[in-house]
Structure 1
Amino acid sequence: MRLNYVETGSADSPVVLLGSSLGASHAMWAPQVDVLAERYRVIAFDHRGHGESEVPDGPYTIDDLGGDVVELLDALEVEQASYVGISLGGSVGLWLAINAPDRIHRLVAICPPTNTAENPQPWTERAAQVRADGTQSITEATLGRWFRPEFTEIADIRKMLEDCPDEGYAAACEALSTMNLLPGLAGITAPVLLITTDGDASVPPETVVPLASQIPGAHLEIIENAAHLVSYSHPDLVNPLLLTHLS
């Protein structure tokens, strides 16, 4: 599987991977890339079916999405990297920490779903809707969950969602419909920072907060007055947390 990626920063610096949300491309990390690239070799990638990555027919699984990242590390000849992921990208990061622990140095999981298999129907229904009517049919509802009403700088994110390949989005929804990462959390050895928000309607904070006691040594930060895509809306709060944890 060929994943599209953009590399920034010195080739001699430690590597940090950036994994995006469902429906987003690597471009959603624009508020973080330059800051991180001052210290790290930053590799922002598109999940399969997203951005400019290949779009195989679905359904996908979380094993597929995580395995793609391992293949990317192999292709880049990177033995170990730190990883920052949000939403679906955070789930992929947790999968990597569970299933490829020797490849992950430090992990930041922002608003990560962990047991969406517990209630698969919303994901299978959304997959069907997108296959029938396109990603445009879910854009407004998605933006309403991702941002608080007062945050209006969303034109680029709107276009990103509408440009996401329909099959890629739907197939990734199907990956979420079968995903349960909870059994593996206790075996994670990488230092983990969990970030959630008080206003996340996509991955409610009450599903993220308990993870801090299930992942050994995990640190939890709750950002107030923010919604799901907090890395984009509140980089002034998120970026210092990333720099502190990754150092």
Structure 2
Amino acid sequence: MKNLFETPHFLKSFLVVVILFAAFRANGQQSKPADSGYAPVNGVKVYYEVYGQGKPLVLLHGAFMTIDLNWGQLIPELSKTRKVIAIELQGHGHTPFSDRKLSHAVLASDVEGVMDYLKVDSADVAGYSFGGSVAYQFAIQSPRRVRKLVIISAAYKSEGWLPEVNNGFKTMKPELFANTPMKTAYDAVAPDKTKWTNFLEQMIAYAVVPFNLGDSNVSKISAPVLIISGDNDGLDKIELAKTYQLLGGGRMC
């Protein structure tokens, strides 16, 4: 069976970046959450884990990933000084698959719902890739809940990705994820492993729909923003520079 490591070069490169944190995780420390469970929000049950004490930091994972796969090595360090709240978005990891239509607004509302459930008024928010896009939306629709924002390899609109990546989304199929770290991580914690293909089909269908959270909305984000991007993470660096400027970067104070 064909897997993602046999895909065309441009798509292969992008998907390998998607599992970057998985490679880091292989040699990482393991940490047990001080608290974990499900928050009932917006008609679904969203899984969360809490580590450490201090100012809250919400972590939002990348597409097809779990808390452990994405953040497993970083959480032990972050939780030394922070209260880390890691969330698994709809259909990911422990959070059950749902037929509920995906949207950035709904997923961001889920994040807010988890914070409400845990009685966290505001937090720093860090999102990777898919989770970074959700983090952008969260900062737009719930600005008072975000203190600082960390965006890792993520765009707030489809044009933020290179054309090769957007074209690659259109060729993605569930079988490409066979024998990958994402499948292994999913099988380890998913409440219903038979939903794997349904979950992939839902996410892939979502990925091919163009989205744009709005230049004007991004320019109104008042929280300090740290943007992190790798050389080959699929982002269009010209568009990334524009994002930097929208957020107030490149200006003389």
| SS of residue in 1 equivalent to 2:229 | strand
| CA gap 1:103/1:77 in 2 versus in 1, 3 angstroms | same
Does 2:147 match 1:105? yes
Aligned to 2:45: 2
Q: Specify which structure has the higher proportion of helix.
A: 1
Deviations 1:36-89, CA, capped at 9 Å, x for gaps: 101111011111010010211154111121111011111111110111110001
| SS of residue in 1 equivalent to 2:71 | helix
Q: Which has the larger radius of gyration?
A: 2
What's the offset of the Cα at 1:161?
A: 6.3
**TM-score w.r.t. structure 2 length?**
0.68
Q: Which runs of 5+ in 1 are unaligned?
A: 131-136, 144-154, 220-247
Aligned to 1:65: 107
What's the offset of the Cα at 1:116?
A: 2.0
Q: 2:76 is aligned with what amino acid?
A: D
Aligned to 2:21: none
The counterpart of 1:197, out of the listed 230, 233, 249, is 230
Fraction of identical pairs, as percent? 22
| SS of residue in 1 equivalent to 2:50 | strand
The counterpart of 2:177, out of the listed 116, 139, 146, is 139
What's the offset of the Cα at 1:117?
A: 7.4
Rounded to whole Å, the distance in 2 between the matches of 1:114 and 1:175 is 14
What's the offset of the Cα at 1:206?
A: 3.8
Does 2:190 match 1:159? no
Maintained 8 Å contact 1:191/1:217: no
Does 2:59 match 1:34? no
Aligned length: 195
Rounded to whole Å, the distance in 2 between the matches of 1:170 and 1:156 is 18
Does 2:210 match 1:185? no
**TM-score w.r.t. structure 1 length?**
0.69
Aligned to 1:240: none
Aligned to 1:44: 86
Q: 2:48 is aligned with what amino acid?
A: Y
Maintained 8 Å contact 1:50/1:169: no
Aligned to 1:172: 203
Rounded to whole Å, the distance in 2 between the matches of 1:113 and 1:166 is 26
Maintained 8 Å contact 1:61/1:172: no
Q: 1:212 is aligned with what amino acid?
A: Y
| SS of residue in 1 equivalent to 2:156 | coil
Aligned to 1:14: 55
Q: 2:184 is aligned with what amino acid?
A: K
| SS of residue in 2 equivalent to 1:209 | helix
Rounded to whole Å, the distance in 1 between the matches of 2:133 and 2:114 is 17
| CA gap 1:31/1:218 in 2 versus in 1, 3 angstroms | farther
Q: Which runs of 5+ in 2 are unaligned?
A: 1-43, 191-195
Aligned to 2:240: 208
Maintained 8 Å contact 1:62/1:175: no
